[in-house]
Structure 1
């Protein structure tokens, strides 16, 4: 069947391919193109059946309406215009381009030199021009029908004080779980299968933070090494779910996953990559944005627009300072909230999004202002990865409300304290109380810090106590990639061991770190699999390991450590003193009682000399949440990174006696309440919590 554009002046405000019920409206932005063609394909995407110039241009938006064109239609674009790399323009109509607003992507990229706008191997490099058709090797967009039965689904909007985040990979989470049907493993439906959901509910998780699920291709250089892009930080389609995570062809599987999580009381947070795309530097392929309008979509070097300006370490930087690129990002975010019902976002390399036209980071910049005034986006969970690789890119604490931020300072100080490094008492105190030096400003609350001990990038918790150094040889980069400063220790043997003493020491340190995470002010984030003792063979950069290295190992379901993690999360939920909305300053409460105080092991208040003691390994924190019509919640938290220690119970708020309610030094009965006495023994390398008796 051959199609043509309607002569009716049918203009919709939306960009992308929008099915109206009677036909489909197409619209795409390009400020510098001279003509944009819509290309239609057979159902399998192999045969180009129609090539139609978009008939209307208004405000640099090219558009047209085709009556009778239905969902399921496969399409792409070709853009005509100047090929002038020196001026930043790289139009090449021989290259099929993915619609930036495509809601579904068909196929996989088949890497071929025809995908590049210039001739690979030409001495002139990207100044040359390639005339081969890239369509046979390119993915295509698919027109969608947005209808879905959301009956019974509602946004949870859980307060940050009640939030426990679980970072997970859709594919890796379900690939080896014995209870997930084999045909669903590695997919959205596998992620939302009963065994996975039940595990998260039983653990006490309130939100899953999914590594990138927007469409991303495999990098050519990885495929040539027999590897693939596992983590997914190379987005090409900001509106489309990753096809490899579908068990069939329907993107409604993603919606079904979200609906199932919501039914279980779990919010869904997406890790999103709006700082760069999969097209790489000026020497990368022409797949979408580069061919549609390179000079608008990307930041180019102010000295030579032939070259991209890179603050992300990937070869390019998305130009969010451009109003239409900013619109695309905002449209994408609103789509995932409004149409796909997600509950929030974690922004990869978010400092890049705050960079102005002059490249500097600006916390009052256009992107943040646009988010904050948006009635939809300002109400969902927003988390920044507060750094990029450009000048001035490290911005922990620099983001505006309502953003929360990943806190690598928390990770490093907690790891170093429990590793036994000296002089860490002040650092640990700061992290236990919400990292006030970073976040207690500009009316930001005590939930601004996303506290983590491990994440996808770096060692897992088990590897943190099992390896002195990284072991990334499987990545094919001679172990040069990944962080070298992991603040880890193998406790006697590099990697797995059968030595009972070493295994016990590793278990104790893991319990201490999880207990620290769950007793700190802020928002705890647990790396998926840490509760199971999951390791990655010492690989701290498993971005390309779509195999047993990167997948979650479920053999730890019977490990007592899993029950400890459940208990630690339940303990946090039971104690409002551990999850307060405001920073505690040390000033007396309205009733004159103490809300926060620090003590030495001998029961005396901490003084300047104690804080400056490089050898101090035992720190006691008293926390209280004053009574609000009910009894106050009062806790004494003792962190002991040294040997067994006798701790004199302090007298505070008239408390006459204490009982021990959490003890990471106890291999069994860690949450069994019993009288503590005074002094109380706090075991080596352990954390103990006491309540008024």
Structure 2
């Protein structure tokens, strides 16, 4: 919850009580840039920490409440809230817009960040109560020369609307459909295959008709809100009792699966399945078209012990436990990142179509029997396995990505016999390149190349 839009949070700094947080932030950005890492700042302009009419007066409420906040027309003492926090910034007012634009320019010119992720960005595009692609906020951002080259990423929803696919061409978006559909597929949800195929190919059903590329989709399975990846595959339900709200806070529709146990267990079979599931999700994220976003700590198996709303837990619940870090998972993630970096076939710039188009860059989908999927196959509730063949004119390698989210092993007939195994979530998988078929274990994937 922001109070000042032009100041880094002092508790993140070792010298935050003397203004040293500004110098430390600049030093951090400089060091990251030296390592060829861009800095994207998560900004919350949609609300402040002042809450509703019962909340404290900390900043804008005391300066000019009616200008800076959206109020209910019929009751100017009440706040019109589209953020779930008690208040919403009145972005249509010149004073509020000027504050936001001054803040954005400050972080670019003084702090040298490379882009912004806008929390609940849909709220910022509202004119009156409706979403508007030509809102004053969007117009000013697009026209500002200081912001002309920075990256813009929207969280395209708020409590009053879901706008995935609705932002202008220059923007990328957190793709909530990717999160939901990938989670559904890997927990074996009936009828999830078609949506899964859309997500791993960059969500053409969302972006292609408006001529936006796969890079418009910021793909994620987990984020700071909700379960960590380890908890997503270890709990069926949230466990937020420590938050003091009788476990009523946080998302209840998590599409999670504890793999046969709720929370900690010593069952070797459950632990092995959870390890595969974490790798299945990470691989889906890093082998899909679009921009992958990994929640910090997922690469080492960080757990919040079932708490999916740990914003209020600055303690062992949310801290990294380095002693418990899963280094094998970390290496697996690094291997996937290296693969994606090396091979253009795994990070296409534009949407691909099947090989029947005679293009060198294509994606084909095969059933386990080696036949290409027909229209009816996509809506088959029992279909939970797939072979995805990925090729690019810019890549010497063609990839065969085999996924099986069903509860039983599936034998795939391969479209050719000159494949080699690259990586798998199944530690026992060892494909011999001379074989015409391959057996894929339940709840696992294997990536082949030729």
Residues 558, 491 of structure 1: CA spacing in aligned structure 2 closer, same or farther, 3 A cutoff? closer
Partner of 1:619: helix, strand, or coil? strand
- Which region of structure 1 is more displaced relative to structure 2, 578-587 or 347-356? 578-587
Instruction: Please say if 1:625 is aligned against 2:406.
Output: no
Residue 302 of structure 1: CA displacement? 1.6
1:263-278 matches, cutoff 5 A: 263-278=34-49
Aligned length: 445
Instruction: Please say if 1:236 is aligned against 2:15.
Output: no
In the alignment, the residues of structure 1 paired with residue 52 and residue 96 of structure 2 have an alpha-carbon distance, to the nearest angstrom, of: 18
The RMSD of aligned alpha carbons is 1.7
Aligned to 2:410: 645
In the alignment, the residues of structure 1 paired with residue 10 and residue 58 of structure 2 have an alpha-carbon distance, to the nearest angstrom, of: 17
Aligned to 1:658: 419
In the alignment, the residues of structure 2 paired with residue 378 and residue 477 of structure 1 have an alpha-carbon distance, to the nearest angstrom, of: 43
Residues 553, 430 of structure 1: CA spacing in aligned structure 2 closer, same or farther, 3 A cutoff? same
Partner of 1:537: helix, strand, or coil? coil
Aligned to 2:175: 407
Residue 473 of structure 1: CA displacement? 0.1
Q: Identify which of 176, 187, 190 aligns with 1:422.
A: 190
In the alignment, the residues of structure 1 paired with residue 292 and residue 437 of structure 2 have an alpha-carbon distance, to the nearest angstrom, of: 31
Aligned to 1:110: none
Ranges in structure 2 where 5+ consecutive residues have no aligned partner: none
Residues 558, 352 of structure 1: CA spacing in aligned structure 2 closer, same or farther, 3 A cutoff? closer
Aligned to 1:68: none
The question of whether the paired residues in 2 share the 8 Å contact of 1:532 and 1:555 is answered with no
Residue 239 of structure 1: CA displacement? 0.2
Q: Identify which of 343, 350, 370 aligns with 1:603.
A: 370
Aligned to 2:96: 325
The question of whether the paired residues in 1 share the 8 Å contact of 2:361 and 2:392 is answered with no
Aligned to 2:121: 350
Residue 370 of structure 1: CA displacement? 1.5
Q: TM-score, normalising length from structure 2?
A: 0.95
Residue 303 of structure 1: CA displacement? 1.7
Residue 622 of structure 1: CA displacement? 1.5
Q: Which has the larger helix fraction?
A: 2
Aligned to 1:378: 148
Ranges in structure 1 where 5+ consecutive residues have no aligned partner: 1-233
In the alignment, the residues of structure 2 paired with residue 286 and residue 623 of structure 1 have an alpha-carbon distance, to the nearest angstrom, of: 56
Partner of 2:177: helix, strand, or coil? helix
Partner of 1:675: helix, strand, or coil? coil
Q: Identify which of 116, 133, 149 aligns with 1:363.
A: 133
Aligned to 2:381: 614
Q: TM-score, normalising length from structure 1?
A: 0.62
1:49-68 matches, cutoff 5 A: none
Residues 489, 241 of structure 1: CA spacing in aligned structure 2 closer, same or farther, 3 A cutoff? same
The question of whether the paired residues in 2 share the 8 Å contact of 1:596 and 1:622 is answered with yes
Residue 506 of structure 1: CA displacement? 0.6
Residue 597 of structure 1: CA displacement? 1.4
Aligned to 2:300: 532
Residues 502, 397 of structure 1: CA spacing in aligned structure 2 closer, same or farther, 3 A cutoff? same
In the alignment, the residues of structure 2 paired with residue 611 and residue 384 of structure 1 have an alpha-carbon distance, to the nearest angstrom, of: 30
In the alignment, the residues of structure 2 paired with residue 588 and residue 606 of structure 1 have an alpha-carbon distance, to the nearest angstrom, of: 13
Aligned to 1:304: 75
Residues 674, 448 of structure 1: CA spacing in aligned structure 2 closer, same or farther, 3 A cutoff? farther
1:196-345 matches, cutoff 5 A: 234-248=1-15, 249=18, 250=20, 251-345=22-116
- Which region of structure 1 is more displaced relative to structure 2, 307-316 or 557-566? 557-566
Residues 557, 684 of structure 1: CA spacing in aligned structure 2 closer, same or farther, 3 A cutoff? same
**Cα shift readout 1:566-589 (whole Å, capped 9, x = no counterpart):** 111111112111111111234756
In the alignment, the residues of structure 1 paired with residue 209 and residue 48 of structure 2 have an alpha-carbon distance, to the nearest angstrom, of: 33
The question of whether the paired residues in 1 share the 8 Å contact of 2:238 and 2:307 is answered with yes
Aligned to 1:519: 287
The question of whether the paired residues in 2 share the 8 Å contact of 1:404 and 1:450 is answered with yes
The question of whether the paired residues in 1 share the 8 Å contact of 2:388 and 2:400 is answered with yes
In the alignment, the residues of structure 2 paired with residue 659 and residue 434 of structure 1 have an alpha-carbon distance, to the nearest angstrom, of: 25
**Cα shift readout 1:251-271 (whole Å, capped 9, x = no counterpart):** 211111111111111111111
